[in-house]
Amino acid sequence: MIGNDIVDLALARKESNWKRNGFLDKIFTKKEQVLILNAENPEVMVWNLWSRKEAAYKIYNRKTQIRGYIPLQLECFDLEIFDGISFGKVVVQKRVYFTKTETTNQFVHTIAVENVQDFNTIKTLENRKNIKKNNGIPSCFEKDNLLAKPISISHHGRFEQIVSL
Amino acid sequence: MNRAQTIEKLKVIVKPYIQNQEAFDNLTESTDFITDLQINSANLVDVILDIEEAYEIVIDNQSMERMLDVKSAIEIIETKLSEK
């Protein structure tokens, strides 16, 4: 299982005002808000944590087939940085997903997986060929493989990322 | 306020965030904020905050979880208004 989410930082700056009264309280837990307010760059931390939640939600949504606006139920924890890549976990209703987040000055991109070793086999797809959506959830149908392969697509502003295992 | 008026007021609130004008022009109770109007999920929180301000209500977390389409939003607004 896989989920991803990309945030175009320039567009996010235009579309959202994270300092708006109530904004943080509606989507981030108290612990996450502490991480944001203590971060060197709080704005980037907002989108870093948000993209983790979104990527993890895509796995949750695929597995449960349940939709919901549940950012507070998806909590980021165990954030660690190795070689400039930020790793972490997201818990939602006792399910734990692993996240890997790349941040540049242009974008934040998170990939979430169910098993941590899946980070070694992630493929990036160039286009939407053979991809079909069912209930809004995309899969790839290759002609010599009858099994649909889970795909995650994220598009925001100038950036699009399509990933699979 | 009747239901038609509530929908009209809701349309004014969501308008700045929509990315699909056609779906917005044809908005009904079954219109989905994300899949139809293509509101960015990070902007859904703005829709919720704008609703709270416009109606002077508080949308609790449990209600927020259902806030994905016009019908749920109207139901939540009506419930919160009746509790005032």
Would you write out chain B's pLDDT as a tens digit for each of its 84 residues?
A: 788 999 999 999 999 999 999 999 999 999 999 999 999 999 999 999 999 999 999 999 999 999 999 999 999 999 999 998
Complex ipTM tops 0.90: yes
Interface list for chain A against chain B, based on CB atoms closer than 8 Å: 7, 12, 15-16, 20-23, 26-27, 50, 54, 67-73, 136, 156
Lowest mean pLDDT among A71-80, A129-138, B49-58: A129-138
Give chain B positions within 8 Å (CB) of A67. 68
Residue B65 has its nearest CB partner, among A16, A21, A68, at A68
Taking all residues of chain A, what is their mean pLDDT, rounded to a whole number? 94
- What is the average pLDDT across A49-75? 97
In a domain, B52, yes or no: yes
What range does the domain containing B55 cover?
A: 3-77
- What is the average pLDDT across A64-90? 94
In a domain, B83, yes or no: no
Amino acid at A43: E
pLDDT at A39 > cutoff 70: yes
Q: pTM value? A: 0.94
Instruction: Give dist(CA B41, CA A53) in Å, integer.
Output: 11
pLDDT at A145 > cutoff 70: no
Number of domains in chain B: 1
More confidently predicted of B4 and A28: A28
Give chain A positions within 8 Å (CB) of B42. 7, 12, 15-16, 50
Identify the pLDDT of residue B84: 85
pLDDT at A128 > cutoff 90: no
Identify the pLDDT of residue A136: 85
Residues facing A132 on adjacent strands = A139
Identify the pLDDT of residue A84: 79
- Cβ pair B49:A22 closer than 8 A: yes
Q: What is the CATH number of the domain that holds B22?
A: 1.10.1200.10
Residue ranges covered by each domain of chain A: 2-117
Q: Specify the CATH architecture of the domain A2-117.
A: Alpha-Beta Complex (3.90)
User: DSSP 3-state helix, strand, coil percentages of chain B (rounded to 5)?
Assistant: 65, 0, 35
